[in-house]
Chains A and B, each alone.
Chain A
Amino acid sequence: MDISLQEVEYRYQANTPFERLAIKDVSIDIPSGIFLAIIGHTGSGKSTVLQHLNALLKPTTGKVMIGDREVNAEKKQKNLKAIRQRVGIVFQFPEHQLFDETVEKDICFGPMNFGVHEEEAKKRARIAIKQVGLSEEILSKSPFELSGGQMRRVAIAGVLAMEPDVIVLDEPTAGLDPRGRREIMDMFHSLHLERKLSTVLVTHSMEDASKYADQIVIMQNGQVYKKGTPNEIFSSPEGLLELGLDVPEVVRFQQKVEEKFQTKFSQTCLTVEKLTEEIASMVKRGEQE
């Protein structure tokens, strides 16, 4: 399912003295099957964009196409459930939303709320729990007996059990240790491939964006500052740095070396391996001279 934001503007508390412009003139295409990363500062409008992806917010002007549904300011929206079942959002710290007696009931809540029969929901729960890397035995436990990392996985399983076409991840690794972070991101990446999902990742991590995303959107002051592939985005890091945005460690380091040595590498390195190769060959050339 394709989603596209077309010249979207959103104002919080519009037509009140507290009105505040959050995003304007935002156009983003999210074609089916893409892995898209949205990056920006705190307050850049990332979260506002995210809430438009399943019509939690309606644009003040412009429109959002979700599949063949148009969401705009004028139209009275009916049956938004259908949209929300197809676009699953994993919010920050999703484990705080767990509430039921058992893990199974918690995972089944979403699908059953969307009219899925109990038997079918249970079947989906068994599949989802394995996809997030936990064993079936956990289904009968209380979610509150689990560790933080396990709880997060259960919450994610709850979103997967709705069988969405699009999964939206809002800082999914916040608070996890480095190993947990790698494991969760690898998990989302393989789910993305196996389930042929569209994945939208809202993140601060330039490393994750450059490693996993097909396309990156950079938000700044409520607007789209730049769009492109990781290579396009990071091949000219100067602009990003001027805005006070980060670039991946490898890119930042390459830049420092290029500056010091007054040279330019043949390409922008996005992995430690590539960067090591480039530096090693530069240094060896230096030794021969």
Chain B
Amino acid sequence: MSKKQLVQLENVSFQYDSEDRFALKNVSFDIYEGEWLAIVGHNGSGKSTLAKLLNGLQFPQEGSITVNGMTLNEETVWETRRLIGMVFQNPDNQFVGTTVQDDVAFGLENNGIPREEMLERVNYSLEKVKMAQFLDQEPHQLSGGQKQRVAIAGVIALRPSIIILDESTSMLDPRGREEVLETVKELKDIHKMTVISITHDLEEAVRADRILVMNKGELYREGSPEEIFQMEEELVQLGLDIPFPVKLSKTLKEQGVFLSKHFLSEEELVAELWTFHYKK
């Protein structure tokens, strides 16, 4: 079964007016329908610029971006934005309603969704992010993490084909992050959405089907989580980090503990220790 290309980037370069260097240099890759793609990289590596280009907030100076067969430009931007929902890093910059439910309804109203359906979708999305009991709360009374969950509800209410998480879980606590990622995963499966998560969080990246590593505006490497996290020290040099189980596998090996490989999951590492050393 061949995967359908939903988004194509071809030789995309972009430079901000105020900067001497290119924020993105000659970047090409495809995004496939229904996949979970993580884009990782240090601050300033071009990750967030990519997100802005994908959503048509900026346009590339060179190269082209195609979304669902449409070349992204000033004429097609409104149409492509219907396909792409974006959740930003800081929830304070994306709250528009005076109450939680108004905020989620805002995008739906803008898109002319009938009232009945609107109410249904607002309730559904808020329930999904576990904010249903806050319907009439004012945004300023919510904590950062709660606001972010409302922002995510606002996006999923619009049922986009692609959802871009631009560092959107970075202000959440571990449980909040887990809930949000689980929610996105569930919605992805139900609605066959494509997820692009732009993140420094390795535990978030490990969940992806595929990872792109950005460095200084260029696409540095592409691969499965398994492949990418074998890069180890190279990742640290890129300003990133190594997932804990890989780190521990490495130090254990240095201490003379035999392991068949470096593990990405804690469960697998524990199982390996058990198998090799106690079950003989």
CB-CB nearest in chain B for A40: B173
Decide: B239 and A180 in contact? CB cutoff 8 A.
Answer: yes
When chains A and B are docked, how far (Å) is the Cα of A147 from the Cα of B19? 11
Cβ < 8 Å to A, chain B residues 174-201:
174-176, 200
Which B252-279 residues have a C-beta within 8 angstroms of A?
252, 254-257, 266-267, 269-271, 273-274, 277-278
Kindly identify, within residues 265 to 289 of chain A, every residue whose CB is under 8 Å from any CB belonging to chain B. 272-273, 275-277, 279-280, 283-284, 286-287
What mask results when residues 234 to 256 of chain B are scored 1 for a CB within 8 Å of chain A, else 0?
00100111001101100110111
Chain A interface: which of B30-38, B120-128, B164-172? B164-172
B171 touches A174 (CB 8 A): yes
Q: How far is the CB of A103 from chain B (nearest CB, A)?
A: 16
Task: Kindly provide the distance from the CB of A101 to the nearest chain B CB, expressed in whole angstroms.
Answer: 16
A177 and B248 form a contact (CB under 8 A): no
Number of interface residues of A (CB under 8 A): 45
In whole angstroms, what is the CA distance A41 to B178 when docked? 12
Given A276-B251, A279-B252, answer yes or no on A47-B143 (Cβ-Cβ < 8 Å). Answer: yes
Q: Does A100 reach chain B (CB closer than 8 Å)?
A: no
Question: Does A42 touch B at the CB level, under 8 Å?
Answer: yes
Interface of chain A residues 74 through 100 with chain B (CB within 8 A): 92-93, 96
Measured between beta carbons, the chain B residues less than 8 angstroms from A177 are 41-43, 200, 239-240
> Is A246 on the interface with B (CB-CB < 8 A)?
yes
Decide yes or no whether B18 CB sits under 8 A from chain A: yes
Map CB proximity to A onto B212-232 as digits: 1 under 8 Å, 0 otherwise: 000000000000000000000
| Interface residue? A145 (CB, 8 A) | yes
**What sequence of 0s and 1s flags, for each residue 16-30 of chain A, a beta carbon within 8 Å of any chain B beta carbon?**
000010000000000
List residues 234-286 of chain A with CB under 8 A from any CB of chain B. 244-246, 249-250, 252-253, 256-257, 260-261, 272-273, 275-277, 279-280, 283-284, 286
Closest to B90 in A: A93
| B251 A273 Cβ-Cβ under 8 A | yes
Q: Nearest CB to that of A273 among chain B residues?
A: B251
Provided the pairs A42-B144, A43-B143, A272-B247 are in contact, do residues A260 and B274 lie with their beta carbons within 8 angstroms?
A: yes
Residue among A43, A147, A277 with most chain B CB within 10 A: A43
Question: How far is the CB of A287 from the nearest CB of chain B, in Å?
Answer: 7
In the complex, the answer to whether A176 meets B43 with C-beta atoms within 8 Å is: yes
Which of B41, B173, B247 contacts A41, CB < 8 Å?
Answer: B173
CB distance from A208 to the nearest CB of B (A): 13
In the bound complex, do residue A41 and residue B257 qualify as a contact, i.e. CB atoms below 8 Å apart? no
Contact A249 B270 (CB under 8 A): no
Chain B residues, Cβ within 8 Å of A244 = 175
Residues of B contacting A178 in the complex (Cβ-Cβ under 8 angstroms): 200, 202, 239-241
Q: Whose C-beta in chain B lies nearest to the C-beta of A13?
A: B141
**List of A residues within 8 angstroms of B73 by Cβ:** none
In the complex the two chains form, what is the Cα distance from A47 to B145 in whole Å? Answer: 12
Give the complex CA separation of A92 and B89 in angstroms.
12
Q: In the complex, given contacts A41-B176, A179-B241, A180-B239, what are 7 additional A-B residue pairs having Cβ atoms less than 8 angstroms apart? A: A148-B44, A178-B241, A253-B248, A256-B266, A260-B274, A279-B273, A280-B256
